[in-house]
A and B are shown apart, each in its own frame.
Chain A
Amino acid sequence: MTRNDLALELRSVTLQFGGLIAVNEVNMAVPKGSIVGLIGPNGAGKTSAFNIITGFYKPTSGSVEFCGSDGAARPITGMPPHEVCRAGIARTFQNIRLFSNETAIENVMIGAYVRQKGRWWMNMFPFVFRGAAREEIEIRDNAMRLLERLGLDNYADSMASSLPYGAQRRLEIARALATNPSFLLLDEPAAGMNPQESAELLSFIRALRDDFSLTILLIEHDMKVVMNVCEYIWVLDRGKLIAEGVADAIKSNKNVIEAYLGTGEARGDA
């Protein structure tokens, strides 16, 4: 794999909180256009890795390099979160974090703000800055289209907090897509879903990747989802990368079984 085919590369990334090493010398290379997974027992450092990539934590050492839709790879280590998003990385949260006092469509529109060209004060002079007014309407229309695409159009004017759980998860994804990313991080997208819903999630994630030409990295505890949808998997345990490879290799990996032993999670049949 040449470097130009990579969307994201973590090079010996370490994150230390006082004496605790949350992420330890992790190397990851995510190919463009792939769907890949990051798994591991609770407290393994998966979400910490996400927080490093999205700029919430600055790694103690190591570097993160990102190649956006413009094709140029650049380091994003220690970049503030809003600039990481601007560069083209979007994410969802393990515990859904929607803007609860806003409607569904407004949530999506907020996501579009990062690409909005009109400045805030232009809206005070609607007859002078017609372009800005038009852009506002476009943003609303695009948001509506995204909601339709994710099957949320019926909820457009409902308060985000009033949506059913599954719809809230999808709305979070819609909001992330509105930032026009080339890379999407999903933190436990199947959490709280029943088997049928998580089965639907598989095709949904693949369709997302194809329709929005994304690279997707996901954290997931539902092994069925991970093994079925991910083309490549990294396994973290206590901050360290203990295995990586395709689903079949991971399933039979001794270290992985050991790390999960007693929880039974790794035995999910594909």
Chain B
Amino acid sequence: MFMQHFINAIGLGSLYGLIAIGYTMVYGILRLINFAHGDIFMLGAYFIFFATISHGLPWAVGAMIAIAGATFCGLLVDRIAYRPLRNAPRISALISAIGVSFFIENFTVVVFSGMPRPVVQPAALMAPITIGSVRLVPLALMVPAIAFILVAALLWMLYGTKPGLAMRAISYDIETTRLMGVSVDKIIALTFAIGSALAAVAGILWALRYPRVEPFMGIMPGFKAFIAAVFGGIGSVPGAMIGGIVLGFVEIMSVAFFPTLSGYRDAFAFLLLVVILLWKPTGLMGGKLEDKI
């Protein structure tokens, strides 16, 4: 029984982690909480739904389309709503992000209607297998496996390639990096692209795991992923993943062991946020905050 919860928590947590990476990378570079990120995740889920369920494309092709589509949307959001505000006060960009999030959600209602749509899960992923005393579906193992492979690839990209170096440089000091001849706007776009692509993967896996899509499905996972990013130390990719898994555990285990508290499930996440912000605002893996006089 505990093993079951354990697997569930890892699965949910790694999905949070995948979304959280987008938050943490964008915040690390632009100091912007990209409120619309949860909605990019939702778009990923919608795209795969329409590609496969409505148009009957194979899942692999659908996944490609969903990732490409969500990435494009993420880039579009940056170009239209954030780039004009690069030199504005930070809160302005945040308000713009709130507007974008609101826009994507309602635009989805306009285009696809507000009705939740069920996702038909592929049979191959749902055939139960038994390992020892634990009975689970391959999908439950696939989710964390994909998440960890992607994080490993991202870390390699950040620490082993030139664009990755540029990204880390920008998050350290954007102006100096610009002076070094790095095309900052391109690197920022790349950051949005990576974040959106990972969110789309999370969206696809989410749609498979919790089989339905609806326009507002991105709000809560989005918030929780942000909390995970803060928990792990905003700006840190491994931190985001760890934060996501911690959050997955908090959520699954609290409900598993205290079923009477299930109504408070979402409150735990927010409580965790408030506690971490007060106790260690820079998060587990975060650096030191500066206070200049």
Bound state CA distance, A142 and B293, in angstroms?
Answer: 29
4 pairs from A and B in contact (CB 8 Å cutoff) = A47-B293, A51-B293, A56-B293, A93-B293
Bound state CA distance, A47 and B293, in angstroms?
Answer: 9
Chain B min CB distance to A223 (Å)? 25
Bound state CA distance, A51 and B291, in angstroms?
Answer: 12
- Chain A residues lying within 8 Å of B293, measured Cβ to Cβ, are 47, 51, 56, 93
The 4 A-B pairs at the shortest CB distance, nearest first, are namely A56-B293, A51-B293, A47-B293, A93-B293
Chain A min CB distance to B86 (Å)? 22
Bound state CA distance, A93 and B293, in angstroms?
Answer: 9
- Chain B residues lying within 8 Å of A47, measured Cβ to Cβ, are 293
Bound state CA distance, A56 and B293, in angstroms?
Answer: 8
Which chain B residue shows the least CB distance to A48? B293
Of the four ranges (under 10, 10 to 19, 20 to 34, 35 or more), the interface on chain B belongs to under 10
Q: Which residues of A contact B (CB under 8 A)?
A: 47, 51, 56, 93
Bound state CA distance, A93 and B292, in angstroms?
Answer: 12
- Chain B residues lying within 8 Å of A56, measured Cβ to Cβ, are 293
Binary interface profile of B, 275-293, with partner A (CB < 8 Å = 1, else 0)?
0000000000000000001
Bound state CA distance, A51 and B292, in angstroms?
Answer: 11
Which chain B residue shows the least CB distance to A54? B293
Q: Which residues of B contact A (CB under 8 A)?
A: 293
Chain B min CB distance to A184 (Å)? 18
Which chain A residue shows the least CB distance to B288? A18
Chain B min CB distance to A68 (Å)? 23
- Chain B residues lying within 8 Å of A51, measured Cβ to Cβ, are 293
Chain A min CB distance to B5 (Å)? 43
Which chain B residue shows the least CB distance to A97? B293
Bound state CA distance, A56 and B291, in angstroms?
Answer: 10
Bound state CA distance, A255 and B293, in angstroms?
Answer: 29
Bound state CA distance, A51 and B293, in angstroms?
Answer: 8
Chain A min CB distance to B65 (Å)? 50
- Chain B residues lying within 8 Å of A93, measured Cβ to Cβ, are 293
Chain B min CB distance to A77 (Å)? 18
Chain A min CB distance to B53 (Å)? 55
Which chain A residue shows the least CB distance to B291? A56
Bound state CA distance, A199 and B125, in angstroms?
Answer: 84
Which chain B residue shows the least CB distance to A18? B288
Chain A min CB distance to B164 (Å)? 29
Bound state CA distance, A252 and B123, in angstroms?
Answer: 91
Chain B min CB distance to A48 (Å)? 9
Bound state CA distance, A60 and B293, in angstroms?
Answer: 18
Chain B min CB distance to A176 (Å)? 16
Chain B min CB distance to A84 (Å)? 14
Bound state CA distance, A257 and B41, in angstroms?
Answer: 65
Chain B min CB distance to A59 (Å)? 15
Which chain B residue shows the least CB distance to A47? B293
Chain B min CB distance to A56 (Å)? 6
Chain A min CB distance to B293 (Å)? 6
Chain B min CB distance to A85 (Å)? 15
Chain B min CB distance to A134 (Å)? 37
